[in-house]
Structure 1
Amino acid sequence: MKKITCSLILLAITFSGLAQTLPNYSFENWVKTPSYEEPLPWNTPNPLTSLASVVTVEKSDDAYSGNYSAKLTTKKIEVGTISYVSPGLVTYADFHVDYQTLETSFSGGLLMPERISSLSGMYKYTGQNNDSATVLIYNFRHPEGEQIDTIGIGVLFLHDTGQWSPFTVQMNYLNDHQPDTFNVLMMSTASFNIEIMPLGSVLMLDSITVKTSTGIFDLNVGTIDLNVYPNPATNRIIFETTEPEKNRKVNIFDVSGKLVRQLDFNQKSLPLNLNGLPSGNYSYRIFTGNKLYNSGTFIKN
């Protein structure tokens, strides 16, 4: 039997590249392939397991909100002489599989320069042989030419419940650095060892939200085209979009997460006077109401 090998350490330190698409947090959007559906931009084991006509992540109409949820199931996979167990798993990281060794790795995540404090959602779970589901969150930064800096990580194990129930996993920060990438991995088992991974555990997921030190935002919306320049800036920085929008605002935060400026951003262009702000790194959010449309960072010299 060939094995799929994976560990929390691997997940925390093995990254390359960024997936910049905002997430399908409510699992309403599914893309059909000839043999399965994918809740894009989530990545799943389905491209591999479907080779054995098995799907471990499926669309379900048993939803907490909206029309659909995601159903993750641990299943046995057999392709010729190769046999292994795969969990149901969803992640924003790129899911890499070596089709000769069946080893897996994860890289990248969601471009999000925010210090996430927690991730919450709704779930149902039926575990086999005292199994539990896993929710793993982490963030990091990877400046060009530098090594990966893992900034925070959080893990939560979910137990049996036949009703839609809330869960929250807290991020534990390892340093005070500003991340540029966030990822979440949720799967139908607590085991990363295929030798003891119970078959048949089922995790249902819906209505995922993230919370930062500066509030809760709905990320299940599209981005806006945004140009921020010059960056780094000295006296003034300009936020520029292609369309005006009523009730749009921009918030500016310092590295501690303190709100230092809030401005209306109803027109296509917004010049921001930086006089009075100390030199350093700042983050921004573009939003209307509680809907986040863009975020990023800039440097004031």
Structure 2
Amino acid sequence: MKQILFSATVLFTAGTLSAQQLPNNGFEDWHPFYGTEAPDYWTGTNQMVIAGATPGIDPTTDAHSGNYAARFSTIVLDLLGEEVLYPSVMYINSTPETDDEGTPFTGRPDSLVAWVKYLPGGQNQFLIRADLLKYNPATQQVDLIGTAGYMGVETGNTYTRIAFPFTYSSAETPDTLTLMIASSTFEPTLANTVLFVDDLILVTNGLATAPELTAASIEIAPNPASDMLTIRCEKALSVVELVDLSGKTLLKVIDPGADAQINLSELAAGTFICRVFTTDGSVYQERIVKQ
């Protein structure tokens, strides 16, 4: 009999990212790891091979660019004659072959971009998540400064570019960035699920490194505005958000389609930034005046 389990603890464990960059973001460099291989600067559930599990993460030449990408497969572990399934999960570190969470990171990225190909064994989703953190000496706790997360569904057998914005809950400067990737998010974990990931990029300035929408293809009006702000676009919108000049997210609309409306009535008068992300990863931002 096949028993299917899911470990939430494994799924939401994350590692850290070297300051201001993603080491081995294209998964070109790998090293031996308990009889398997692991990408430099990344650690994950391949540790389960010690207990006899199948390796869930391996290099593949089926890459978006370069020589290799990372392939995540469902992990199978035999427990007393029963096959137990787990998602493959991987998180980033600051050194090539160690698991040492806590690398400094002091940037405030606009978004995270990745190229993925997802072939789930059924109705399932993959997850990519990054958190910006800061240690608070007064409380001796770690505060969440901002987060970016994406849960994706089947893409077919071609690489798809995804881009998802960071949402900031604080104007503080972070000191740590954590980043993790999981092949499945649902319980139970499904057999024969495969996720390919390549070319992860932290976008510090969305207009500099992501495809830019032109002013002719998007309309944000009225500006100045006092009540409702309307956004119309030739492309389907994934996220529309309003941030203050420190980068803190004030309002957000998810999956509005081609049109979105933001109610400004409860905001104080001032200047804000309206950021628009489309489903194909394009980015646009415009300064908005609230009267």
TM-score (structure 1 length as normaliser): 0.58
In the alignment, residue 185 of structure 1 is paired with which amino acid?
A: M
SS at match of 2:49: helix
Matched, 1:198 2:193: no
1:50 deviates by: 4.3
SS at match of 1:142: strand
In structure 2, what is the Cα distance between the partners aligned to 1:43 and 1:215?
A: 32
Report the equivalent of 2:52: 52
Deviations 1:1-32 (A, max 9, x none): 89744288x658xx8xx665852100000001
Deviations 1:150-180 (A, max 9, x none): 1112221122121011011211111111101
Matched, 1:120 2:113: yes
Report the equivalent of 1:209: 201
Deviations 1:97-142 (A, max 9, x none): xxxxxxxxx9835421111221101111101221111111111011
Report the equivalent of 2:101: 108
Structure 1 residues 41 and 86: CA distance shift in structure 2, 3 A:
same
Report the equivalent of 1:29: 29
TM-score (structure 2 length as normaliser): 0.60
SS at match of 1:32: strand
In structure 1, what is the Cα distance between the partners aligned to 2:17 and 2:175?
A: 11
Report the equivalent of 1:221: none
1:75 deviates by: 2.2
SS at match of 2:162: strand
Q: Which runs of 4+ in 1 moved over 4 A?
A: 18-22, 79-83, 213-217
1:216 deviates by: 6.1
1:69 deviates by: 0.4
In the alignment, residue 160 of structure 1 is paired with which amino acid?
A: E
**Candidates 174, 179, 184, aligned match of 2:174:** 179
Q: Is the 8 A contact 1:75 1:200 kept in 2?
A: no
1:57 deviates by: 0.4
Matches within 5 A, 1:119-138: 119-138=112-131
Q: Is the 8 A contact 2:25 2:198 kept in 1?
A: yes
Identity of aligned residues (%): 21
In structure 1, what is the Cα distance between the partners aligned to 2:162 and 2:44?
A: 21
Q: Which moved more, 1:19-28 or 1:204-213?
A: 19-28
Structure 1 stretches of 5 or more lacking a match?
95-105, 218-254, 258-301
Structure 1 residues 60 and 170: CA distance shift in structure 2, 3 A:
same
Structure 2 stretches of 5 or more lacking a match?
210-244, 248-291
SS at match of 2:72: strand
Report the equivalent of 1:154: 148
SS at match of 1:148: strand
In structure 2, what is the Cα distance between the partners aligned to 1:76 and 1:4?
A: 13
Q: Is the 8 A contact 1:74 1:87 kept in 2?
A: yes
Structure 1 residues 150 and 165: CA distance shift in structure 2, 3 A:
same
In structure 2, what is the Cα distance between the partners aligned to 1:76 and 1:128?
A: 14
In the alignment, residue 27 of structure 1 is paired with which amino acid?
A: F
Coordinate RMSD, CA, aligned = 3.2
Structure 1 residues 69 and 256: CA distance shift in structure 2, 3 A:
same
SS at match of 1:47: helix
Q: Is the 8 A contact 1:136 1:155 kept in 2?
A: yes
